[in-house]
Structure 1
Amino acid sequence: MITDMDQRRTFAIRTLGCKINQYESQALREAWLARGWSEVDMRRARIVLFNSCAVTADAVRTLRGQVRQVRRVNQEAEIVITGCAAQVLSAEMADLADMARVVLVDQPRKAGLASYPDIGPALPKSAFPPLRISGFKRARPVLKIQDGCSHGCTYCIVPQGRGPSRSRPMADILTEARRLLASGFREIILGGINLRHFGRDLPGAPDLWDLLAFLDSELTPEWAGRARLRLSSLDPAQLGGKALDTLAASRLVCPHLHLSLQSLSPEILRSMGRGHYAPEEIEGFLRELEKVWPTFALGADLLVGFPGETEGHFEQTLTALDRLPLTYAHVFPYSKRPGTRAASMANQVSTREKKERVGQLRALADNRKAAFMRHLLTRNKLAVIMEKPGRKAELSGICEFYVECGFASPPSQAGFKALASGRPLAVADGRMILAPGIENP
């Protein structure tokens, strides 16, 4: 029931961090809008929600700066901080909580914000948060299929923030996928905190590849050629014969993998608590994948300057990475996170060394990205999910190979969320330029 108080509510949401935070912010947005609340600029909002991240020190600094900015321009707003920073860094957030009308809401109570200000008790650790979406701010929505992590990498604060792994039932995932497709979205990103753990707590213990095969069988009859699925970040240990067979059979999944590599030095991987995969196994899988997908995008997350990482360890990563068909990478310098084992390890790497190594890996990734885009010029067609026009009213979006594409002239399917085809013409300013082509129905 919508109350008089609901009718007077206005809100703004700031989302920091991962794709799962984006999903959860959207779910809360839809819940508040359904109660009759209005989303407005943060300077006029009665409630400003920060969905925070604690993965890096920079994320926490950004949060603190943005909270103080909101308070300067909106003295009357009630500021609600939720997410991982509110969960695991409550001491660091204490000075913000001491500000007038600032509320910290920990991760287990985040879903309860849908009924704010009546939040209710925290969810049990084994419960999958009851959040749902039917829309998204961006053209390619994230569909949350898993939460939490039960692994415990030595550098990672996420298990403290999100708790153990929990999986969403496959039938529920299918229902939401159909709901998003019915809302006009033509690409859905299957996302989670650790997709390697998906299904371990579900009846029959299905894994990610079982889920992908299930979605493919259910959605292909209506949506093959008209919509697509994309996998978010994968643990390299998920790659094997079952993965290869599932990807080969799929008619919906984008030819794109993003791997959480972090390092390719076996010794550093063991120190990170990630000794469950080996660089040579990754290389072997990708060679086999090329037989299934002659062209595919390959991204990687890389963590540089982990405690004890010598120049020799870094060279191992650089050399092994050079052998992979990489097309882009997200490279981060290691930063201490409170409460993690790595924070107290000996042989911390200097800021200068980390900066130099980050630069080398980013240069390699930039070169590979440029080469990949030149290769895509040889293709007859790319399929692009259209984003909202930017400040320059440009018509652009993301193709199946996870490359930004712009159109030299408007395609017939130019609306937000549309799937438009184009013929590659050139590479300019870090993106593909396309001529409009034959459209998908």
Structure 2
Amino acid sequence: MARLQQKEFGFGTQIRKSPYFDATVRWGAKGFSVYNHMYIPRDFGDPEQNFWNLVNRAILCDVAVERQVEITGPDAAKFTQMLTPRDLSKCAVGQCKYVLITNAEGGILNDPILLRLEENRFWLSLADSDILLWAQGVAIHSGLDVRIREPEVSPLQLQGPESGKIMEALFGDSINDLRYFWLREYDLDGIPLIVSRTGWSSELGYELYLLDDSRGDELWEKIMAAGAAFGLQPGHTSTIRRVEGGMLSYHADMDTNTNPYELGLDRLVELDIEADFIGKAALRRIRDEGVSRKLVGLVIGGPALRGPNSSFWALEQAGEQVGTITSAVFSPRLERNIALAMVGKDFSALGTDFNVETPGGKTTAIVVEKPFFDPGKKIAATPSRRITSLTG
């Protein structure tokens, strides 16, 4: 195994490193980017191999950048409901929910996983934006008795069809009845953890929230050792797999100027609840008036893309821009270029075609159904599911 020296990256101190940083470098991390003011490993070699490792076996990813906003206090439940248009009244202790955080105009500030650890204790496990500051600002003027802070909690993602077996090797049989989008507290040889059946991969997976940052290196090595017999590899979140699954990336597929109806996330907006959440009036107006654009799935022609898009590509008809590609990648399993794109409502019907210029040259794109693979999300929800590489 190649061992890279930390000095090769030339990091300063103003951006935080995760408690798994040294372990990821030992295990071959070759490149990092910044997310929630922290370094995140983005490169463990060939991204296509990383994809096959994920869908055929399992990968371990450092996602400590998924920072937690913790909301506690007598009014924690009422305050948390203020932040999101999703009805939380039936969210039980021990349950997780995918939610949107919206502003007064109905724009999306973040799309975290919400975890309810206790009756009056919630975590928002964040995508890349400063929701801690937003929540603290809202709390000041809310008149509610809450405390908002960022706890020292650092998650890892163990994802892939073999992840259940690896978790059983670590935690025993009790892990097998942990339901999809539920959480449980564990002690792994003295390492305190919250474990949830969640993840950003569209595969069977778990997230392990480390509650003691001093044990990060030990936890990483313990999981890798338990997973060796099952083909576990170090890895990074797979753009290929998340686009296949139609999973959205904040700042790419949505931002503060995007509303839930444009994304087809109507199910996360419940306007009939009594709570007066932030953005309620705006979202009611948007629902009644309709939207002018929609997020769609595309298949792009031409040669295989060499990597994900690093800019937003214009979609044109008759020389006029009518949309923008937000996320694009070549899927080796589907053997085609696939993408998510925001287009004018009149150009969102299945079969609509566009002209687009990619780094490989001018080509065409056509609107298709999304997600591109496993549209019922059965893989992530069913522990026994196994996926086999089409290449054998």
- Which TM bucket (shorter chain)? under 0.3
- Return the TM-score normalized by structure 1: 0.25
Task: State which structure, 1 or 2, has the greater radius of gyration over its C-alpha atoms.
Answer: 1
TM-score (norm. length: structure 2) = 0.28
Hey, which of these two has a bigger chunk of helix by percent?
A: 1
Q: Tell which has more relative contact order, 1 or 2 (C-alpha 8 A, sep 6+).
A: 2
Which structure has the highest strand share of the two?
Answer: 2
